[in-house]
Amino acid sequence: MSLESVFTKNDLAKYPFLKETAQYLSPLDLQIEDFINSGMSQILDHAMERATSAIINLAVRPLINEQGTKYVIKDTQKEILSFPVALMLVSATENSLIKKRYALAEAKQASNELSYESKEFVFKVALDFGWQIIFTSADSAFDFALYFNDFLQNASRLHDAKWKLVNSKLSEGNVYLNKRDVVRLLQEEIKRRIEKRLATVSVSKYPPEISELADKLKTIASEHIGQTEMEFPKVVIQEAFPPCINMLYDAASKNHHLPHMGRFALTAFLVNIGMSSESVTELFKSFSDYNERLTRYQVEHIAGTRGSGTKYTCPQCSILQTHNVCKNRDDTCKRIYHPLKYYKIKSKMTQLNVPEKIDTTAKT
Ligand code: SF4
């Protein structure tokens, strides 16, 4: 590492999105072909593992090893190099939801790792993002004072009341925070940086080996997230709902009782096809046990706009069958294993005719 380095090689292996990684990689002058042809194919394999784990586990590596102790990165060089290669593989999928999931997984991994780091280390990472942040005095109940603009830029994406400026300790343009809060805000910042990098990876034509691996990632995503290509129409099309969801939707509209799995499946299905949390909350309004605050909390939690930021997907057909939620199977059901896949197929067909739109507030 150079004399001006703020981070060690081990830090860059853990946090490869840092600006200093580019400085470290630049003299190596690596091209895509180097990872395919030469003795560096193990980097490509590791990048594939990284992207696969991000899609399946929303984490790029374990935090704890098999012995129950903190996972230690043994080959730091391989870990650093696998990051830009994984970015390229994910970018080559040209699938916006895979890109989003990858960025979220990297950000959550970093945030988990950062929670074990010292305040001083977290401070250095915050500076990497250009935050205006200072340590508070030793007798303060808080660890940091963060300029309110940096706070707002990241807290505005978090929906818990604690992130509202009015609920924060604000003094002279700074918001007072503890280390845990700063790490949570950094997670948002890291996610944005990675999303930006994925949007700017520019390769006119990927080598066939890379395209093949990108296709594999798409298959893995469709199996594990339950959505091939995972892009849905911008309006919600009720005609394309699978029979199970239609029944649940109908029951909810008529204030009929829904079992827990039914409520979860319906909510997760609707938020995944793009219905706003507001509209889903409204759907449960006529229930006798309706509690607006609690329902909104649960819907936003499933939608990933609250809490950990993880968006839950609707359970696959085999699980719904076990819970007796799968009803009135039709011919399309024979071709699929997941209600979202059903919707994907049916909405394409339905769009050829004039669709019945039930919610125009769907997210874009
Ligand atoms: S097969 Fe799947 S999509 Fe069809 S009704 Fe059953 S659970 Fe729903």
How far apart, in whole angstroms, are the C-alpha atoms of residue 355 and residue 264? 26
Q: What is the pLDDT of residues 272-313, one digit of tens each?
A: 888 888 888 888 887 767 778 888 888 888 887 776 667 788
User: Would you say the CB of residue 110 lies under 6 angstroms from ligand 1?
Assistant: no
Q: State the Cα torsion 354-359-363-364 to the nearest 10°.
A: 20
Name the residue with tokens 């990872």. 35
Q: State the Cα torsion 75-78-84-87 to the nearest 10°.
A: -80
CB 207 within 8 A of CB 36: yes
How far apart, in whole angstroms, are the C-alpha atoms of residue 201 and residue 51? 16
27 backbone dihedrals φ, ψ, rounded to 5° = -65, -20
Nearest CA to ligand 1 atom 4: 333
User: Would you say the CB of residue 326 lies under 6 angstroms from ligand 1?
Assistant: yes
pLDDT confidence tier of residue 359, bands split at 50, 70 and 90: very low
Q: Which atom of ligand 1 is nearest to the CA of 325?
A: 7
Q: What share of the chain is helix, strand, coil (3-state, %, to 5)?
A: 55, 5, 40
Q: Which of 147, 145, 128, 329 is nearest to 243 (CA)?
A: 329
CB 182 within 8 A of CB 133: yes
Which residues, other chains included, contact 3 with Cβ-Cβ below 8 Å and sequence gap of 6+? Answer: none
Answer yes or no: is pLDDT of 328 > 70.
yes
- Model pLDDT, residue 309: 64
CB 202 within 8 A of CB 94: no
- Stated pTM of the model: 0.63
CB 197 within 8 A of CB 87: yes
How far apart, in whole angstroms, are the C-alpha atoms of residue 321 and residue 299? 23
Choose the residue to mutate in 320, 322, 341, 344 for probing ligand 1, maximizing ligand atoms within 8 Å of C-beta: 320
Q: Which atom of ligand 1 is nearest to the CA of 242?
A: 3
- Please tell me whether residue 174 adopts helix, strand or coil conformation: strand
- Model pLDDT, residue 23: 87
Query: Hey, what are 45's tokens?
Result: 């394999």
